[in-house]
Structure 1
């Protein structure tokens, strides 16, 4: 994977990947988005996607919701690219957040894991926490806390925790039984799920104290 990532960075491959993202061939679009998904943990890759204007076509692929393989690849690429806040700003211009919130229901787990990962990154920006709340996103997040997929549970607890740093959101999370559900995940057999649940509980408890 490291060799592949370096090749994309040094051989000018990112420009070609972005060109294909803008094509009409959904199979090729899926493969290119998947390549970005796998490589964009690296900051240089994320910067290259942005510099070659690859973020906007990734958002455009979200409209192809009937093609679940393509949707999974696109949401995965958006998730990893959104680790950089410079990229989140561009995604916001294209209304990616609102589209992602709309994908929180009736989607395969593979898509949901990626959407939740992206929302956790978007929620690092205070205004986006309000958008998630006002768009019904918190209720959708709480519903997903009942799942069993460990990767999904890790990402949904991170997203809930990020939203809970806004004290007004904690009241909604609590009303929807979200605090109890997150607390119950401390008993999950996965250490990673336990860790993310504990992290999410911290702002819930802190902001609940502030309300008192």
Structure 2
């Protein structure tokens, strides 16, 4: 019985761990031009341009397990319906009235699973269209507006589960949504059943 209990606990832990995908690390090669380092934060109450600001890139997790009911548009393409995804936001936004340039380059954001796509269009239309589905619970999101996303020299590079981001902002700031994969819980359940079967087998041998 003890072995079966352990197997069940391991199964439960594996399923819980693989039902989400989060930001696990951020590596900053220096600081922003205003002297601040990149940070992982909790989802703020609002991400409208006038309500939240920072002086260095910040990122937070949004919805962690969404099964897409239709194709999801991202930069340069789409993620197919039926895919399990998690969502995250990265932003750099000067305080209101501060129009001086703030640059924050080559910040590496690492996620617990692979990146499937990014929403960074200049007008923020992809972000706005997906916020009802992917936005963090309790966070207020704006409608699309000019220069919400990337423009000019802003850029990112995807490398598996890592995203290297460079942002150059005055007003308004830059906001992008990152979509990552969420491993199928079913595959982990099968693994867990195998562990439980092993527990049964060993228990029977001990009783023999």
- TM-score tier (shorter): under 0.3
More helix by share: 1
More strand by share: 2
Higher CA-based Rg: 2
Task: For CA contacts below 8 A with separation 6 or more, give which structure has more relative contact order.
Answer: 2
